[in-house]
Structure 1
Amino acid sequence: MTVPQVPSKLVFRIPATAVLGALLFAVTATPFAWAAPGLFVIYLVPIAAIAWVLRVRTVADRERLVARTLFGRHVVPWSELRAFRVSERSWVRAVAEDGKELPLPNVRTRHLPALSLISGGRLDDPTEAPAEDAAAEDTAPEPEHATVPATPAEPEPAETASAKPAE
C-alpha cells in the first residue's frame, strides 16, 4: 500500500481558459461599443472578468492559508484557524479562533480532504466519519429477532448423531 504524497502547496483558482470567454465577449461587444459615444465603457466588463479570473484564488501551504479576492488578500496561519464551515451552496469558509469567518474563493467541499491533509492534521476533515461513531457502529447491539448463537454449537458425538432404526 502506498502512502499519499503530501504536496507543498495547493492552489484553488478558476482555470485560465476562462479568459477566453471574456475575450469572446469583448469581440462580440465591439459593434455595440462603437455604436454611440460613451458605449465603449462596455469593455470594462471583460477587463474586470479577466482581472477576476487571474486574481481570485485560495492558496494553502503547510504554514498558512491565503485567500485572494479582487481587491484584497487575507493571510491566516493554520494555528489561528479553528474549523471549516460549509454553506448551503457548498462554499467553504475558514473559521478563525476569534469566530470570524474568512471566505475561501474557489474552494468547495470536495477540496476539504486535501486542505486537511496539507494542514498537517491541524484541522480535521469534516467529510470523514468520526472514529467514535465508527466504533459505536461496530459494537451496536444485535436486534432481538436475530437467531445467531453466541457460541458455536459443538457437534454431537457420533453415536448420538446417527439415528438407529426402530425395530
Structure 2
Amino acid sequence: MTTARLRMSRVALLPVVVLLVCVLPLASAAAWTPVFLLVPALAAAYVLRVGVDVGDAGITVRSLAGSRRVPWGEVAGLRVGERGELWLVTTRGTELRLPALRARDLPRLAGVSGGRIPAPGPA
C-alpha cells in the first residue's frame, strides 16, 4: 500500500488569492508594510501543508509547524466531535485532531487505511 495524502481541496487557495489582491495596496503603502504579505503566504502554506498521511506504517498528522506519526499499533480508534471534526484516539489515551477531515470523510479514510479503520455503516 502506498501513502495516501488527505489534504484540503486546492479550491481553498482561491480565497487566499483574493486576500493577496486585497493586501497588495496595503503592502505597498510604506517601507515596512510588505510584512502584511505574510498573511496570505501563511494561509497558502496552511492550505498546502495541513492534512493527514495514511500509509503502511501508520497515520501522520501534519500541521503548519510540524507533524506527528502514530503507528497502527497505537491507534485505538476515531472520535467524531460535536461539529463533525475527527479525532484520532491513541492507546495512551491521547487524542490528535485530524485536520482537513470531517465526519463525511470517514468512508474515504476507511478506504485508504486498508481496513485498519472500519467503514461506517448505516445508522
Answer yes or no: is the 8 Å Cα contact 1:11–1:60 preserved in 2: yes
Runs of 4+ in 1 over 4 A off after TM superposition: none
Deviation at 1:19, TM superposition (A): 2.7
The equivalent position to 2:103 in structure 1, one of 104, 109, 121, is: 109
Q: Trace 1:112-151 onto structure 2 (pairs within 5 A).
A: 112-125=106-119, 127-128=120-121
How many residues of Structure 1 are paired with residues of Structure 2 in the alignment? 123
- Find the aligned partners of 1:94 and 1:17 in 2 and give their Cα distance: 26
1:46-101 C-alpha deviation (Å, 9 max, x unpaired): 11111111111111123311111000111111121001011111110110000010
Aligned-pair Cα RMSD in Å: 2.2
1:83 aligns with: 77
Question: How far is the alpha carbon of 1:129 from its aligned partner?
Answer: 5.3
Residue type at the aligned position of 2:49 = R
Taking only the aligned residue pairs, the percentage that are identical comes to 36
Q: Distance in 2 between matches of 1:123 and 1:27?
A: 42
Task: State which drifts further: 35-44 or 90-99.
Answer: 35-44
1:63 to 53, 57, 78: 57
Structure with larger RCO (C-alpha < 8 A, sep 6+): 2
- Alpha-carbon deviation of 1:8? 4.1
Gaps of 5+ in 1: 1-6, 131-167
Question: What residue number does 2:40 align with?
Answer: 46
Q: Which amino acid aligns with 2:89?
A: V
Larger radius of gyration: 1
SS of corresponding position for 1:122? coil
Deviates more, 1:26-35 or 1:60-69: 26-35
- Which is richer in strand? 2
Contact 1:12 1:105 in 2 (8 A): no
Which residue of structure 2 aligns with residue 26 of structure 1?
Answer: 20
TM-score using structure 2 length: 0.84
Q: Is the 8 A contact 1:67 1:75 kept in 2?
A: yes
